[in-house]
Structure 1
């Protein structure tokens, strides 16, 4: 099995928050108010075409946008909470809920953007036919493991000991009632498993790096299902800016035709546009926070 050929590794990620404390919590909010505002937006993928399109469309609406790129997934929320940013767009609602819970922050989503489905890939196959009895490799990180297991639940390949878990673990799988064996490995190892013929759930970041066509999946989660709601991506602000009309209007530019065309190109057509009210987004975050 693939697992026997995987060497366990531990990666230490250094996170730099240099300069974040230099701005007070009011600095960015002031610049985002009034006419012709300058709005500072944080992300982790500023090189994508969607961000260039977003800047162009924002200018047409009278906004000056400063996009700041971060190399990790923690610093954009730190920068937002400390006032170095007005908003950020890089995370889904589950990640936001976990961050708020762990750090005692009150960051809130205001405009939904999209869901990027998480998918199962099986080399040289175009369906689930014949997959029963196979070992399936999934990422073992906290962000993707529970979602990956629920993908297999939706595919009717895995049964859980208790239904409805948002973030099930391997221990929650009822192996006797399931049709496949599930093995969790480092996310970076999932493309290698796929290359050796093992069915694997691979997130988009590693698909791109491995040159795997995202449209060749044999199954993916349903972006319209309740199970997918935690993975809605959104523009996020501090609680005091939840009703800031300038920031909200800017965030809504993401749904312009030009930006959506660029998002589709970036994701090779796999991203699904999502529009939810701030109230609906908050309700999802509240539900997730309560379940943590």
Structure 2
């Protein structure tokens, strides 16, 4: 019986390795910068282990999850856990995070003023229109001292609720807070006085990060804002998923993030 058990285990291991090394195709969704760039870096590395990475680039935050649920994608890499938790909760899905890869900044940006103190009474401020990034935008406005919110000033876990416009307790400058799709915010900078921007769209739009009025680095010690590789639950133990996760969390990828992005984003592992 013991010999049979060992033989079965060995065959299972061989089968898993063979599956990964047979040239399996893995279709993964990502936003352009830095996610797709990091995936392009690991593509030749995972290819040596038998995984053909097919990278599909998206400009929004909904389709990479929607297409993962509909099985048009095998995985995605573009989101942090608060966003994933909200997506699963609102749509009754159960997509799972595998490994965190990087952390990127979330910034207050303006092309009209050079200091938060210059923000005038009645100024227009834009935040993302999805519940998670919009809530993070409100927390950012609180950090720079222009509004006051109910509840905690920071998330303590990825499951904590984020604030909404209804949670604003004080708005002394009578700011007009408008919600726009995250991808559109860089293009709206000329129409608003200040915007809360996700780091990936700052980089994609080639906005100088150092000109931000405030930079939230997202390094809170709890990895709440780490960007994750995500798959469907039934496929989290696939051999190719394990290979991709291993390479995304490798020393080579850490060094690529550090050197290529020069401190603008940070390894989350």
CA distance in 1, matches of 2:262, 2:112: 20
Match of 1:119 among 89, 99, 107: 107
| SS of structure 2 residue aligned to 1:53 | helix
The offset of 1:239, in angstroms, is 2.0
- The within-5 A match list for 1:57-206 is 57-60=45-48, 62-69=49-56, 71=58, 73-83=61-71, 85-123=73-111, 128-131=116-119, 135=123, 137-142=125-130, 143-163=132-152, 166-176=161-171, 178=172, 181-187=175-181, 190-191=185-186, 194-195=189-190, 198-206=193-201
| SS of structure 2 residue aligned to 1:233 | strand
Residue 233 of structure 1 corresponds to 227
Residue 23 of structure 1 corresponds to none
The offset of 1:219, in angstroms, is 1.0
Residue 213 of structure 2 corresponds to 218
Deviation track 1:212-243 (CA, whole Å, cap 9, x = no partner) reads 212321212241227971x3211112223334
Conserved 8 A contact 2:112-2:193: no
| Unpaired segments ≥5 residues, structure 1 | 1-31, 276-292
The offset of 1:121, in angstroms, is 1.7
Match of 1:33 among 16, 23, 47: 16
| SS of structure 1 residue aligned to 2:245 | helix
Conserved 8 A contact 2:47-2:53: no
The offset of 1:257, in angstroms, is 4.7
Conserved 8 A contact 1:214-1:268: no
The offset of 1:181, in angstroms, is 2.3
The offset of 1:139, in angstroms, is 2.3
TM-score, normalised to structure 1, is 0.66
User: How large is the RMSD of aligned CA atoms in angstroms?
Assistant: 3.6
Q: For the structure 1 residues 267 and 148, does the alpha-carbon distance in structure 2 shift closer, same or farther, using more than 3 Å as the test? A: farther
Residue 44 of structure 1 corresponds to 30
Count of aligned residue pairs for this structure pair: 241
The offset of 1:96, in angstroms, is 1.8
Q: For the structure 1 residues 249 and 190, does the alpha-carbon distance in structure 2 shift closer, same or farther, using more than 3 Å as the test? A: closer
| Unpaired segments ≥5 residues, structure 2 | 1-14, 154-159
- Please tell me whether residue 56 in structure 1 is matched to residue 44 in structure 2: yes
Greater Rg by CA: 2
TM-score, normalised to structure 2, is 0.71
Q: For the structure 1 residues 152 and 245, does the alpha-carbon distance in structure 2 shift closer, same or farther, using more than 3 Å as the test? A: same
Match of 1:250 among 244, 249, 268: 244
Comparing 234-243 and 105-114, the one that deviates more: 234-243
CA distance in 2, matches of 1:272, 1:54: 17
CA distance in 1, matches of 2:245, 2:223: 22
The offset of 1:210, in angstroms, is 4.5
